[in-house]
């Protein structure tokens, strides 16, 4: 028996009805104060305000809270076809910290789906779009090499803002290097692989 192919309007109606049913039972999302901004077949957008009880000992948003936001966005995207779906594995890169009071948005987008397997990309950023670049950092690095220098696998900084390279000793990670930027209180980690390039940017 051939499965009925839904029209775009029918697929959207199904996605919204599925999300509404899930949300009514989603105590975790409700408890975290998440908001479902929109859902469509294979995609979703949710937001979360970083509350005081979501920050860690460094007074930045706990990584587990950001992960929960991302995972919830994934859940509403992959279940938008009204077929019970859960995650089997995931990988997350934290590119920058989020602070108390900031509004974070998580956008989930289906990249591929075949049988019982699907791949989804979830991007979390501030509502002002400050934290994450939507593309490969290597592309940005090559195109604007005169403006940016890579300090870590997941971070580029403006060359003109580099003020100092400092050694630090972390009780957990051990000895390492950080870069101090103009107008930024936080020190960013510098990988040993990028240390020479960052020092060159400081001299330049």
User: Can you read off the two tokens belonging to residue 74?
Assistant: 């994934």
For residue 44, the model assigns a pLDDT of 95
CA gap 125, 57 in Å, rounded: 21
Compute the average pLDDT of residues 121-137.
Answer: 69
Q: Are 63 and 24 a contacting pair, CB within 8 Å?
A: no
CA gap 76, 42 in Å, rounded: 8
Contacts of 3 (CB under 8 A, 6+ apart): none
For residue 96, the model assigns a pLDDT of 82
CATH architecture of 8-126: Roll (3.10)
Entry pTM: 0.64
Mark residue 174 as left, alpha or beta (left: phi above 0; alpha: psi -120 to 50; beta: remaining).
left
Please say if the pLDDT value at position 131 is more than 70: no
Q: Are 163 and 181 a contacting pair, CB within 8 Å?
A: yes
**Domains in the chain: boundaries:** 8-126, 137-203
pLDDT tens string 66-105: 999 999 999 999 999 999 888 888 888 787 889 999 999 9
For residue 132, the model assigns a pLDDT of 45
CA gap 90, 148 in Å, rounded: 30
pLDDT tens string 39-69: 999 999 999 999 999 999 999 999 999 999 9
């Amino acid at each position: 028996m051939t499965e009925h192919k839904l029209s775009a309007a029918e697929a959207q109606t199904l996605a919204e009805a599925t999300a509404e049913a899930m949300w009514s039972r989603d105590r975790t999302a409700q408890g975290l104060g998440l908001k479902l901004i929109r859902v469509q077949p294979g995609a979703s957008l949710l937001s979360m305000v970083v509350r005081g009880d979501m920050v860690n000992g460094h007074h930045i948003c706990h990584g587990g809270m950001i992960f929960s936001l991302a995972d919830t966005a994934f859940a509403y995207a992959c279940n938008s076809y009204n077929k019970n779906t859960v995650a089997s594995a995931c990988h997350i890169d934290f590119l920058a910290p989020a602070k108390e009071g900031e509004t974070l948005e998580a956008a989930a987008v289906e990249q591929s789906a075949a049988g019982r397997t699907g791949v989804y990309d979830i991007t979390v950023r501030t509502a002002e779009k400050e934290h994450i670049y939507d593309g490969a950092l290597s592309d940005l690095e090559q195109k604007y090499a005169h403006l940016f220098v890579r300090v870590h696998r997941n971070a580029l900084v403006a060359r003109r803002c580099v003020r100092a390279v400092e050694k630090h000793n972390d009780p957990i990670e051990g000895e390492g290097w950080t870069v101090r930027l103009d107008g930024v209180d936080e020190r960013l980690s510098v990988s040993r692989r990028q240390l020479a390039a960052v020092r060159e940017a400081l001299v330049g």
